[in-house]
Structure 1
């Protein structure tokens, strides 16, 4: 009886926080859904006419949406490939008994705590600047022509910057998984004459499968909404070469003042994100059951 009363009291005490959280989430979502069905442009006062799904039609048939959609896919898959491959390598390296290992781990994890805007500015001005950047000086020293990263390979430049930010996260999760590996399996493999490559393929990688799946899920949810790095470096250009769906929504809503079209794009982005999240959650569930 006392247990039932304590549970009821706990639910009552949590109720205000739950209501506040629901309002925090549902009110903006409902307003976005409402604006997506009206012709709402900040430059045309009083033109709030109901137009149905016309905003969605314009957004989905816009060539910029197609390009930004594929840019989003390339951005997410590129960052995932680099962070997982590099994270596995870093995790194995940091698991070795080397001098100053704890200090090295702190240095490796440092980029994850840098604000996206700050890291993008550092890469833009200190590394990828075609005149005064470190890569430009290195190319001249080697006898090559400097690359204008944000003009010639804008999307790849964004992928490099974002990968640098998320690599420590992947390395930390994968390092924790490697440290939970039963060392007796590796010792038994050594006794059987297995080489480092065979141990990595048949013991380490299968053990890391769940950690890799978790990294993919967490990173994908955040990578779908990459914005600051694009705003600071390329501004979505040249043209739409480095524009993802999030930046396209920002362009339509705040640069073109088309709140209705941007709201429709926001709802489309939410639907895409939920589809991806459901797919990845099912993938994780199957992985955990296996």
Structure 2
């Protein structure tokens, strides 16, 4: 049992790491809050003084704000839906005995290690290009007119690209959870005559609830800040401008650091609202 002296020594040894972590988080947040109340134009006069909540009002009243929030939530929701459903199916498939099982698992997980920029470039040029892309050639084989995916189905294309990248992560977590399932329960249910769908619905799926919760929470954190895929493919056009990309445009393209900082605060608020919502709806499974 730890004594008071050992606990004090542990706190002292952990203090540098905690201080560094707090500084890593608080310094950027403080700077963002600071600049959000100022009119700061680096290439057009620099620091032009305090403007109060004017940046917040301008960003919120912008015609691009609410569409960017909507696009962000649609992308997050679409990717979560695809990765959870197909992640469960792939995990069930990979859990079955097969020849070359280890190699198959590595191939399925491989897309997660591809950089988002590279992944987006591959999909844009090799698959979705309306002239030379693989999908265009497939469409021509069946006598159909090739589709310009990134302009005609832009939001769906972004969801597909991001889902391809995050599906291995969901599959890996869910496969680990399935492998921890007590086989005796499934064997007992099978001996009692329960059909496969009933065994999945009453035994496997409840067992996966905690893993699904972890997948949803972790992916949501990263998906709310999606940027590289949009920058490489559509550059925010055709309704794919997310809140993160809108902030980028305000800061780098418009050179308005104050306005972009206000957008960053809104992004933090949105992320916290979504996180609280998820914790209340699905996060309770972690305590089950």
TM-score when normalising by structure 1 = 0.95
1:143-182, CA deviations, whole angstroms, 9 ceiling, x for partnerless residues? 1111111111111111000000000010111111111111
Change over 3 Å in CA distance of 1:105–1:51 after alignment to 2: same
Aligned match of 2:278: 280
User: 4+ residue stretches of structure 1 with deviation over 4 A?
Assistant: none
Q: Distance in 2 between matches of 1:78 and 1:2?
A: 48
Q: Structure 2: 5+ residue runs without aligned partners?
A: none
Q: Deviations over 1:38-95 (max 9, x none)?
A: 1112232145221111111111111201111100110000000000000001000001
Matches of residues 169-248 of structure 1 in structure 2 within 5 Å?
169-238=169-238, 241-248=239-246
Structure 1 residue 153 corresponds to structure 2 residue 157: no
Match of 1:168 in 2: 168
The 2-side partners of 1:164 and 1:2 are apart by 47
1:23 matched residue in structure 2: 23
**Change in CA separation of 1:285 and 1:75 when aligned onto 2, cut-off 3 Å:** closer
Deviation at 1:207, TM superposition (A): 1.3
Does the CA contact (< 8 Å) of 2:213 and 2:283 recur in 1? no
Alignment partner of 1:13 is 2:13: yes
43-52 or 99-108, which deviates more? 43-52
Deviates more, 1:61-70 or 1:18-27: 18-27
- TM-score computed with the length of structure 2 as normaliser: 0.96
Gaps of 5+ in 1: none
Q: Distance in 2 between matches of 1:158 and 1:53?
A: 34
After the TM superposition, which residues 17-166 of structure 1 pair with which residues of structure 2 at under 5 Å, given as runs?
A: 17-166=17-166
Secondary structure at 2:117 match in 1: helix
Aligned-pair CA distance for 1:289: 3.5
Find the residue that maps to 2:210 and give its secondary structure: helix
Deviation at 1:247, TM superposition (A): 0.5
Q: CA deviation at 1:284?
A: 4.8
Asked whether the equivalents of residues 214 and 284 of structure 1 are also in contact (C-alpha less than 8 Å), the reply is: no
Give the superposed CA RMSD: 1.6
Give the drift of 1:200: 1.4
SS at match of 2:41: coil
CA distance in 2 between counterparts of 1:242 and 1:139 reads 24
Q: 1:95 and 1:2, CA in 2 relative to 1: closer, same or farther beyond 3 A?
A: closer
Given that residues 213 and 286 in structure 2 are in contact (C-alpha distance below 8 angstroms), is that contact kept between their aligned partners in structure 1? no
Counterpart-to-counterpart distance in 2, 1:136 and 1:285: 42
